[in-house]
Chains A and B, each alone.
Chain A
Amino acid sequence: MDDLEFRRTIYADPDSQLQSVKDAVQSDKSKQQFWHDVKQLDKNIKQTVSDVAVPEGLAHRLILKQSLAEHRSQKIKQRWYIALAASIAFLVGINVTIFNNQPIDISEYALAHRYHEGEVPMQMDENVNLQQVNIKLAAMGGHLNQDIGKVYFANFCDFDRVRSLHLVMDSGNGKVTVFVVPLKEQFSMEPKFADQRFDGRSFDIGNAAIIVVGEKGQELKLMEDNLKKQLVFSA
């Protein structure tokens, strides 16, 4: 190893462990002196470099900053969860709306209505005459040409948010409930329907759905025929 290479090697790495470096200094006093000087210089460099005072409390600030950042990101995560919850609620809302726009089986609705009202209308006898019935029917563009039997009760009711006419009539085979409901697009109906307690018929006349609900086994055909014959809707 020549002198220049030796100097370069030592300057680059004063702690060199190279065998060639060790061999070079073995019998060369001036190289030994040079290496000693460079090691001394390097010791001073290391000391100077490490003498830079680290700001007091830096370690604590680093940990604090991290925990604050973590806290913030958790809060952001929480906000994220809230946003997710809100989105789900929104979707549920939309689905309910869509569900509400699904076809509504008015036969089922009629039965539910019949159960809900109980026996009160059935026991009432307001002795409604044809003219009074027609005034009410006129509100939905309907007209009953002839008396088709005694009308015990005639009142507007809410039929799935649609203003409808609720009648209790004599069918010739006992009292029946008749609903007159303006037809809506989303309505669907079964011509004949029944459950454990009631039998029913539904049909449309013009723009109205007519639903007849009677007791189980009650003859409803005659009522249906009469209504189809005498009830007209202008619209």
Chain B
Amino acid sequence: MMSKQKRYEALVHAWHADIFRYAYWLIKDKSIAEDVVQETFLRAWKSLDSLQDEKAAKSWLITILRRENARRFERKQFDLTDIDDVSVADEIQISHEQGLQHRELHKHIGALATEYREPLILQAIFGLSGEEIATQLDLNKNTVMTRLFRARNQLKEALEHSNEMIGSKNG
């Protein structure tokens, strides 16, 4: 059996990137996202013994991260910007194919309301099913499916709108 330390390191290597990306899309601030990820993994280390099945690690980490993120709001009730209104497109460097459509899409995903964005991210990053997302967000499955539908619908409309804008500019 692996030592606790080895288990932890394996967990970090396997999940830190996806957990960070999820945190980023949830928080939309890179440095706060990293702080929350730090807290998440520290918490995970402390209760690592409660993780019996490595297959459950993904949802376990997501649960911890959501809780740590909620704690951040409890701690800092003031000094809060309504980040849904802030454009995040310029903050993250897109590592490759900085195509116009990607940048547009990045901006539009960031602009989605959290209730639409979060299930979409859980599905896109972790490949969670509707049921799994429902469990994670404590919603019923139909609500989750509706939100996923609206999220993509809004993105499609926003992209079409942008294309029209670009089209009209170019034309």
Interface residues of A (CB under 8 A from B): 7-9, 11-14, 38, 41-42, 44-55, 58-59, 61-63, 65-66, 69-70
Contacts and interface: CB of A to CB of B under 8 A. Distances in A.
Given A45-B124, A49-B124, A62 B16 contact: yes
Contacts of A51: 92, 94-97, 102, 106
B121 interface: yes
B152 A38 contact: yes
Given A44-B101, A48-B106, A48-B109, A55 B20 contact: yes
A69 B43 CA distance: 11
Q: Which of A13, A38, A42, A46 has the most CB of B within 10 A?
A: A13
Contacts of A66: 8, 41-42, 45
Contacts of A14: 152
A45 B109 contact: yes
Contacts of A11: 148-149, 152-153
Given A12-B145, A62-B41, A53 B109 contact: no
B9 interface: yes
Contacts of B101: 44
B38 A55 contact: no
B52 interface: no
Interface residues of B, number: 44
A216 to B, nearest CB: 70
Interface string B71-106: 000000000000000000000111111000110011
B16 A58 contact: yes
A62 B30 contact: no
A46 B9 CA distance: 27
A42 B152 contact: yes
Contacts of B156: 38, 41
A13 B148 contact: yes
B169 interface: no
Given A49-B124, A55-B30, A66-B42, A13 B130 contact: yes
Contact of B120 (A44, A45, A47, A52): A45
B42 A69 contact: yes
A47 to B, nearest CB: 7
Contacts of B42: 65-66, 69
A55 B17 CA distance: 9
20 contacts: A7-B149, A9-B145, A12-B145, A12-B146, A12-B148, A42-B124, A44-B105, A45-B152, A45-B155, A48-B94, A48-B105, A48-B106, A49-B25, A51-B102, A52-B20, A54-B16, A54-B17, A59-B16, A62-B16, A66-B45
B68 interface: no
A51 B102 CA distance: 9
Contacts of B51: none
A12 B20 contact: no
Contacts of B121: 49
Contacts of A38: 152, 156
B65 to A, nearest CB: 13
Nearest to B141: A12
